[in-house]
Chain A
Amino acid sequence: MGYNPEKPMEGRLTDLGPPHYEQFMPPIIKENKGKWLWHEILQPGVLMHKSETGDEVYTVRVGSPRLMTLVHVREICDIADAHCGGYLRFTTRNNIEFMVDSKDKVQPLLDDLASRGSKFPVGGTGAGITNIVHTQGWIHCHTPATDASGPVKAVMDDLFEYFTSMKMPAQVRIALACCLNMCGAVHASDIAILGIHRKPPMIDNKRITGVCELPLAVASCPLGAVKPAKTEVDGQEIKTVKVTVERCMFCGNCYTMCPAMPLADPEGDGIAILVGGKISNARSAPKFSKLVIPFLPNTPPRWPETVGAIRKIVEAYAKDARKYERVGEWAERIGWERFFEKCDIPFTEKSIDDYRLAYNTWRTTTQFKFTSHIK
């Protein structure tokens, strides 16, 4: 029967919520839930978990572009049907996990994955670089300052050797958000790629009446840069807003509330790089990422400036950090002045905080290092 537009409310079902997770867990997982004793990464991308029942589950972790079509989803299902009894899972970081209940099933699975070209790269475990968590970008969103899937593909192509190996000092988590809204929650990543705008919004006076609630647009600005104003359109006085440009931090909040205030721009928009965040509580507390490169241009299709900057950071870190040390822990141990030097990143005043609570980030001690910054 299906939906009947004549009687939209008839037979309607709502508030079902997600399906119960248990029906989707492979038998080996269901039987051993809560009984796992330890795990070991046998090779990059292959994990073994040992249960107190003696059972073992072997997991093969595979990268994915997150943006995928049904063609890809069905191929994933084909693989899971052939090797995993029809079950699979996705990780928080957009990897696919294929699980089998004995060791001899691992190699045939790996062989199958390898036979499918570059579609199913195995890796993303341990002290390496796993998949990038990211947002929508130009494929779907209206506020992005950069694309998401394109830069992610370019960066992962470049860092691929670290996805398939475990030779970093610790895991390196990269995230991309295509605007300051940070749907992608990049603010606590080892390396964050963040789309930023650099031009204040334009006011579309011809459109503003009707599409905007002016008080909301005014209230949306965290810096009070949007003010009510009046102007003339076609000889008629209308109510509108104006933007105090010196106050604008290009966050796009006003545009979110008011479609007549677009701010995206090919020259204005680009990417900032933030580093040194972490989530896990291991050793040191979770930390936010810090802005070290204020701007790199949008250069599709492969964003070479961004790719190059990230590789430089990754390599300096890999060479210099101690075992277990996350990027942020390394930077704090050697000092941020040394970080800029070792990563060959020019220091600019843009890395000096002048937003709220900025003072917390200024140096109030006589302890510093004589790096090349001191002339």
Chain B
Amino acid sequence: MAKHETPMLDQLESGPWPSFVSDLKAMAKIKPEVYDILGQLELSYEDRITHWKHGGIVGVFGYGGGIVGRYSDVPERFPGVEHFHTLRVAQPASKYYSTENLRKLADLWQKHGSGVTNFHGSTGDIILLGARTEALEPFFWDLTHEMGQDLGGSGSNLRTPACCLGQSRCEWACYDTQETCYHLTLHYQDEIHRPAFPYKFKFKFSGCPNDCVAAIARSDVSVIGTWRDEIRIDQAAVKEYIAGNYPSNGGAHSGRDWGKFDIKKEVIDLCPTECMWMEGGELKIDDTECTRCMHCINVMPRALRPGADQGATILVGAKAPILEGAQMSTLMIPFMKIEKENEFEELIEFIEKIWDWWMEVGKNRERVGESMQRVGLPTFIKIMGLDPIPQMIRIPRENPYVFWGEEEVPGGFDRDIDEFRARHAA
């Protein structure tokens, strides 16, 4: 496998952003098949089209997911990438690593694969790009035996769950996103590795409504931290903000002169519920009206903190636009305590209630959000055994087309037309 001419890719070695092309070239000196990745990519740049063939089922024995098959459609020109399968390796919660662990993984991947990776794939897994079919089992053996690590999910199964960094380094996390993510990932290894669902299913865990893992937009069950008591206020720190001694938004805006900090303009007036005001030099919040949007806390992190009675809001059904159009998750449980003490029992029960129903009624390649749409939210709420509450909707329905059930109407639907006619001429 020799070097190919790559004039277009070479162009991407210039510029201030780190260049994947330079990196691939460095790798090719160790693993020559990487020259063929560069060669094939250059060909795609010339032809403006992909040169990968449609999938092909490959995997390791006993697992239905974790590996995406990939073959070149020009293998005679680029034999080094004839097979170029992807392996998804389950990532540790919040993506902390020791160098010891990363170096070991690097050595394994150098031994079995191309040496090319993604840190990380969009779902959160470590992605290892480019292995031959015959390398899959040996790699999996070494991964499990030498490193005690495992593949993640792909296909119609539970996808590798992911979380924000949570309490490990964020003051706003309202529950332990890492522990929750880890616990549920282990609890559901079977669902991750052996597809038994109508389509993919994802959980994501964000510690607060800033939702740094985009749970609300891309997970079937979105667990987003929140609180149900009062925002904790340090009035002395509020004064420091007003005096301009602390930077607004944790310094996030320090690159431009936005003028003196104005608590009315920047906090009170931007509160979506208008539940804040100044009184006697102190900041007041009517917490019963606050919807916990995080804006004020984001702007004054040294003065305001989420309340102390913390838990999470559970929303269900987000998905990408394919097929019926994009959906955000819909609020189902306003507040749930998320605690290790009871092994997340309540959350697990909730999730499994969804699965029991969805595995039965979900159509092939129908995300749970689409199943919900198909049967309607009122039906879904009943299936989940929940009480309907206004927090589940943005606005009440705008049409009167209610599907009344027979049992809800006194006397039912059975009536006697003759008796009716006796009193009403036709």
Contacts and interface: CB of A to CB of B under 8 A. Distances in A.
Nearest to B60: A14
Given A19-B92, A39-B301, A34 B176 contact: yes
Interface string A139-156: 111111001011001101
25 contacts: A2-B142, A14-B62, A17-B192, A23-B98, A24-B98, A36-B167, A67-B20, A68-B119, A69-B24, A69-B26, A69-B34, A70-B110, A71-B26, A71-B27, A71-B115, A77-B103, A89-B94, A92-B213, A118-B19, A135-B122, A150-B12, A181-B320, A182-B321, A255-B54, A280-B210
Nearest to B70: A140
6 tightest Cβ-Cβ pairs between the two chains A and B: A126-B252, A157-B15, A259-B54, A69-B27, A3-B141, A166-B255
Interface in B188-210: 189-190, 192-193, 209-210
Nearest to A131: B17
A98 to B, nearest CB: 11
B144 interface: yes
A80 interface: yes
A280 B12 CA distance: 33
Contacts of A8: 61, 137
A309 interface: no
A73 B70 contact: no
Contacts of A118: 15-19
Q: How many of chain A's residues touch chain B, expressed as a range?
A: 35 or more
A21 to B, nearest CB: 4
Given A24-B92, A70-B30, A77-B106, 18 more contacts: A16-B149, A38-B301, A41-B254, A67-B20, A73-B106, A86-B99, A88-B102, A89-B96, A127-B253, A138-B49, A160-B16, A166-B251, A166-B253, A181-B320, A183-B122, A187-B326, A188-B326, A279-B211
A59 B255 contact: no
B119 A73 contact: yes
A85 to B, nearest CB: 9
Given A150-B12, A282-B298, A140 B86 contact: yes
Contacts of B49: 138, 264-266, 269
B294 A281 contact: yes
Given A126-B251, A142-B50, A219 B171 contact: no
B411 to A, nearest CB: 37
Interface of B: 8-9, 11-12, 14-20, 23-24, 26-27, 30, 34, 37, 41, 44-45, 47-55, 61-63, 70, 84, 86, 90-103, 106, 109-110, 115-120, 122, 124, 129-130, 137-138, 140-142, 144-145, 147-150, 160, 162, 164-165, 167-171, 173, 176, 178, 182, 185-186, 189-190, 192-193, 209-214, 216-218, 224, 247, 249-256, 258, 266, 270-272, 292-295, 298-299, 301-302, 305, 320-326, 328, 364-365
B70 A142 contact: yes
Contact of A21 (B44, B182, B292): B182
A2 B326 CA distance: 45
Interface string A104-136: 000000000000001111000111100001111
Contact of B255 (A127, A184, A301): A127
B351 to A, nearest CB: 17
B325 A355 contact: yes
B51 A5 contact: no
Interface centre among B167, B216, B252, B299 (most CB of A within 10 A): B252
Contacts of B176: 34
Nearest to A260: B54
Contacts of B119: 64, 66, 68, 73, 90, 94, 96
Interface of A: 2-3, 5, 8-9, 11-21, 23-26, 29, 33-34, 36-44, 49, 57, 59, 63-74, 76-77, 80-81, 86-92, 94, 96, 99, 118-121, 125-128, 133-144, 147, 149-150, 153-154, 156-157, 160, 163, 165-168, 171, 180-185, 187-188, 216, 219-220, 222, 251, 253, 255, 259, 262, 264-266, 269, 277, 279-284, 286, 288, 298, 300-302, 323-324, 355-357
